[in-house]
């Protein structure tokens, strides 16, 4: 057990390479233990099939819903603070998958956090939310029908009431233990707001009780832990229950390290011009060796390669095809240049199709949600 | 100038005997300097006429509105955490007065603070709000017509958006400087909510801009200082301007010290049974001397007497009559027993009339405001 604190900063989006600590220190469970049962409900989406979803909490509740036909809902938040890239796509691919299994989707636009914590202007926040995130979500296949989508700053009073009530049963001591000492009022408000995002679909005012599942990146676990505690504290008063959660790894950045919105060369955005995207791909780090000769001899390292990861999690749906790419890399028969050219073709095709769909989905996005007027 | 901090705790409701420090340290102004001009707009209410309103900030803005016929509004909050007593009546008497001068009235039911900071149950909060405060306000003469009345937990999204936006431009450093170190999330949310209470009537969404005046007890000045600073920070973004404020002293408690909701013998509630009220009055401390002989010789001290104060601020409207009481006490010709009996008759008459009006106003109160359903 740890003596010193192992603290995750959900605002810094650290690369959680040692995420196994989340299992031993914080009670997260490996997703492996539930994935077999999930398979029986149909084809898994790439992030799950290719192992990017590594952890969960109480996913058994979702399996129970699937077995019994009980209602369940996905709550997902989007942070409209920049362009939407392939790292973000991993999340929405899961959401679309659960929607296909019958889940209702609640989509929270985290404009309060984008404005208050990340200090963006109100205009930029609305623009990113609709033209980047929501439009891309739709173009990727999210069904607009029955979608519950809202700006945190423009929602219903029962949702705001939850924030107010939650404040009573949360202490500064626990917030600083979870998030660190430098908690400003905007972060406190944002954290309580996220708890309301996650738990409000359980209220009768929002369509009646349903099991909530929150698929997130590993770095968001602090919010989930707090929210699950809050749910316990309001189980009698409001009938709330703990949400389930799944956790995915971060996508590798093209320049090494994490794919990060603040480093444009590290990611390919879904709205990037296609030639620009291909250029970034061709300049990407790979799992290749120092020389062609060495690579032919030793083979490449696909499991450390951002290009292979892009194929695995986004561009190559066929398992046999992906296995072949992996094998040809490992045995040195396909070098990085050749692989990148083939990947570039897949990327080009994907983005062409996607950006064609985007033309109409940008218009649809505007009609789905009322934007705050200040 | 002070070297050590002079800090007011708005949640402790201290007796601010040395309130003159508020003038020298915090820039509050004496109300004397504006009261003459206010007189020209008609008869002043007792709390102003009898000197209980001692300070102000920017009251000149209100005078300007009265002169030019511009709109102004009163924002007043009620804390539904117990019975409404004569100390609270001082505030609503001022509100009713300004309503008579043409002010729109915004009445915030501070259920978020009552629940989150004072830890009352949701049911008690709603009960106190309607059956104690709002019903008494109406029975005292507040005109329900055009009244904007709301529970903090059951209002409009633009109001909640203000809370979220304010959070961005408020720091923990300034909150702890104003309120002290032991700020829990419930207090932080409550403080931001109060700023939204005070400033939201300026927004176009709530009837368009109007000058806001907040009449409060002296201990509430920290909230006003913070809110005025917040208004400055959002003057460009939202067009907010500083609210004006007036400050009244606390009523003396019948048992000495401050009149306090947590000490039932210290106050007379407007819904107390009349015999019970008279009993409390007859048991009250006075400004009398140790013996009747001494009092005949030296005279009483009406300016230190809770019974005289009750007459002055609530029961005796006629100035000449009050002056006579004061004089007969000072010169020793009327002793406390006689004065109390006369006061008891006034109190009985007042409460009989008031509680008769209360029968209908309790019903009206329920129709004026939508109560939160959880």
Kindly tell me if the per-residue pLDDT of B2 is higher than 50. no
Mutate which of B162, B168, B173 to disrupt the A interface (most A C-beta within 10 Å)?
A: B168
Same structural domain for residues B245 and B271? no
| Number of other residues whose CB lies within 10 A of the CB of residue B223 | 23
Dump pLDDT digits (tens) for B240-266. Answer: 999 999 999 988 999 988 888 888 999
Chain A residues touching B165 at Cβ < 8 A? 115-116, 153
Same structural domain for residues B233 and B278? no
Question: Which residue of B171, B184, B185 is in closest CB contact with A184?
Answer: B171
Check residue A1 and give its pLDDT.
Answer: 39
Structure-token pair, residue B174? 């300034």
Same structural domain for residues A239 and A285? no
Chains A, B: CB pairs < 8 Å? 98
Chain A: nearest CA to B101, how far in angstroms? 32
- Scanning every residue of chain A, which has its alpha carbon at the shortest distance from the alpha carbon of B193? A164
Chain B: nearest CA to A168, how far in angstroms? 4
Q: What are the angstrom distances between the C-alpha of B168 and each of A79, A184, A269, A324, B233?
A: 16, 8, 28, 52, 10
Same structural domain for residues A105 and A170? yes
CATH of the domain at B44: 3.40.50.620
CATH of the domain at B356: 1.10.240.10
Chain B residues touching A184 at Cβ < 8 A? 171-172
Chain A: nearest CA to B158, how far in angstroms? 7
- Residue B90 domain flag: yes
Same structural domain for residues A196 and A113? yes
Chain A residues touching B152 at Cβ < 8 A? 164
- Scanning every residue of chain A, which has its alpha carbon at the shortest distance from the alpha carbon of B172? A184
Going by pLDDT thresholds of 50, 70 and 90, the confidence category of residue B19 is: confident
Same structural domain for residues A275 and A236? no
Q: Sheet of A29-30: strands edge to edge?
A: A29-30, A53-57, A244-248, A211-217, A72-78, A104-109, A148-151
Same structural domain for residues B316 and B182? no
Question: Which residue of B119, B155, B188 is in closest CB contact with A157?
Answer: B155
Question: Which residue of B157, B184, B374 is in closest CB contact with A154?
Answer: B157
Q: What are the angstrom distances between the C-alpha of B28 and each of B3, B34, B244, B247, B374?
A: 19, 13, 11, 9, 40
- Scanning every residue of chain A, which has its alpha carbon at the shortest distance from the alpha carbon of B188? A185
- Residue A243 domain flag: yes
Q: Comparing C-alpha atoms, which of B236, B239, B340 is closest to residue B288?
A: B340
Cβ contact (<8 Å) for B161 and A372?
yes
Among chain A, residues having any CB pair with chain B shorter than 8 Å are: 112, 115-116, 119, 152-158, 160-161, 163-165, 167-168, 170-172, 175, 183-186, 188-190, 192-193, 203, 238, 372, 374
Same structural domain for residues B216 and B332? no
Structure-token pair, residue B342? 């006369």
- CA dihedral angle for residue A192, residue A195, residue A201, residue A202, rounded to 10 degrees: -110
Q: What are the angstrom distances between the C-alpha of B359 and each of B83, B348, B356?
A: 16, 17, 6
Number of domains observed in the structure of chain B? 2
Dump pLDDT digits (tens) for A22-67. Answer: 787 788 999 999 999 999 999 999 999 999 999 999 999 999 999 9
- Residue B255 domain flag: no
- Scanning every residue of chain A, which has its alpha carbon at the shortest distance from the alpha carbon of B151? A161
- Scanning every residue of chain A, which has its alpha carbon at the shortest distance from the alpha carbon of B167? A186
Mutate which of B156, B165, B184, B185 to disrupt the A interface (most A C-beta within 10 Å)?
A: B185
Cβ contact (<8 Å) for B164 and A374?
no
Check residue B202 and give its pLDDT.
Answer: 98
Check residue B22 and give its pLDDT.
Answer: 79
Residue A90 sits in which domain range? 20-250
Cβ contact (<8 Å) for A189 and B184?
no
Chain A: nearest CA to B347, how far in angstroms? 40
Mean pLDDT, 10 residues at a time, chain A of 374 residues: 58 65 85 96 97 97 98 97 95 98 98 93 96 98 97 98 97 94 94 98 97 96 96 97 96 88 92 97 96 96 96 97 97 97 98 98 96 96
Chain A residues touching B160 at Cβ < 8 A? 153, 157, 160
CA distance B118 to A163: 17
- Residue B1 domain flag: no
Check residue B14 and give its pLDDT.
Answer: 57
Contacts of A26 (CB under 8 A, 6+ apart): A221, A225
Chain A residues touching B188 at Cβ < 8 A? 167, 185, 188-189
Cβ contact (<8 Å) for B172 and A165?
no
Which residue carries 């939508």 as its tokens? B370
Q: Where are the alpha helices (DSSP H) in A50-156?
A: 60-68, 86-100, 111-116, 122-127, 135-140
Among chain B, residues having any CB pair with chain A shorter than 8 Å are: 112, 115-116, 119, 152-158, 160-161, 163-165, 167-168, 170-172, 175, 183-186, 188-190, 192-193, 203, 238, 372, 374
Q: Comparing C-alpha atoms, which of A107, A97, A202, A157 is closest to residue B373?
A: A157
* 3-state secondary structure string across B160-222: HHHHHHHHHCCCHHHHHHHHCCCCCHHHHHHHHHHHHHHHHHHCHHHCCCCEEEEEEEHHHHH
CA distance B360 to B234: 42
- CA dihedral angle for residue B149, residue B155, residue B156, residue B162, rounded to 10 degrees: 100
Check residue A3 and give its pLDDT.
Answer: 45
Check residue A39 and give its pLDDT.
Answer: 97
Q: What are the angstrom distances between the C-alpha of B220 and each of A203, B22, B175, B178, B250?
A: 35, 11, 14, 11, 11
- Residue A1 domain flag: no
- Of the three residues A208, A225, A250, the one that is the final residue of a domain is A250
Going by pLDDT thresholds of 50, 70 and 90, the confidence category of residue B4 is: very low
Same structural domain for residues B189 and B281? no
| A115 or B3, higher pLDDT | A115
**Model confidence, pTM:** 0.94
Q: What is the mean pLDDT of chain B?
A: 94
Going by pLDDT thresholds of 50, 70 and 90, the confidence category of residue B3 is: very low
- Residue A223 domain flag: yes
């Amino acid at each position: 057990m740890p003596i010193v604190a192992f603290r995750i900063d959900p605002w810094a989006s650290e690369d959680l390479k040692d995420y196994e600590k989340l299992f031993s220190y914080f009670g997260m469970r490996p997703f492996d233990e539930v994935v077999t049962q999930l398979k029986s409900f149909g084809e898994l989406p790439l992030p799950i099939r290719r192992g990017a979803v590594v952890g969960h909490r109480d996913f058994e509740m979702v399996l129970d819903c699937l077995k019994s036909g009980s209602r369940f809902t996905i709550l997902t938040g989007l942070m409209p603070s920049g362009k939407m890239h392939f790292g973000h796509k991993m999340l929405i691919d899961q959401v679309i998958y659960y929607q296909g299994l019958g889940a209702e989707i609640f989509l929270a636009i985290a404009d309060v956090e984008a404005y208050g914590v990340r200090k963006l202007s109100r205009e930029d926040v609305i623009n990113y939310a609709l033209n980047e995130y929501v439009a891309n979500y739709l173009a990727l296949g999210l069904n607009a029908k029955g979608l519950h989508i809202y700006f945190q700053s423009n929602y219903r009073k029962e949702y705001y009431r939850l924030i107010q009530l939650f404040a009573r049963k949360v202490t500064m001591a626990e917030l600083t233990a979870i998030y660190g000492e430098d908690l400003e009022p905007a972060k406190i408000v944002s954290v309580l707001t996220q708890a309301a995002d996650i738990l409000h679909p359980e209220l009768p005012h929002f369509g009646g009780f349903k099991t909530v599942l929150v698929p997130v990146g590993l770095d968001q676990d602090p919010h989930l832990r707090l929210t699950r505690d809050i749910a316990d504290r309001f189980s009698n008063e409001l009938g709330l229950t703990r949400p389930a959660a799944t956790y995915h790894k971060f996508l590798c950045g093209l320049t090494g390290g994490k794919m990060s919105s603040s480093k444009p060369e590290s990611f390919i955005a879904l709205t990037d011009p296609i030639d620009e995207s291909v250029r970034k791909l061709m300049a990407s780090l790979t799992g290749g060796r120092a020389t062609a000769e060495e690579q032919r001899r030793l083979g490449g390292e696909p499991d450390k390669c951002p290009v292979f990861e892009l194929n695995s999690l986004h561009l190559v749906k066929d398992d046999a095809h992906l296995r072949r790419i992996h094998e040809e890399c490992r045995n040195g028969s396909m070098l990085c240049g050749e692989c990148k050219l083939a990947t570039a073709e897949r990327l080009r095709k994907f983005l062409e199709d996607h950006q064609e769909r985007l033309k109409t989905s940008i218009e649809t996005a505007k009609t789905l949600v009322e934007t705050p007027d200040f």
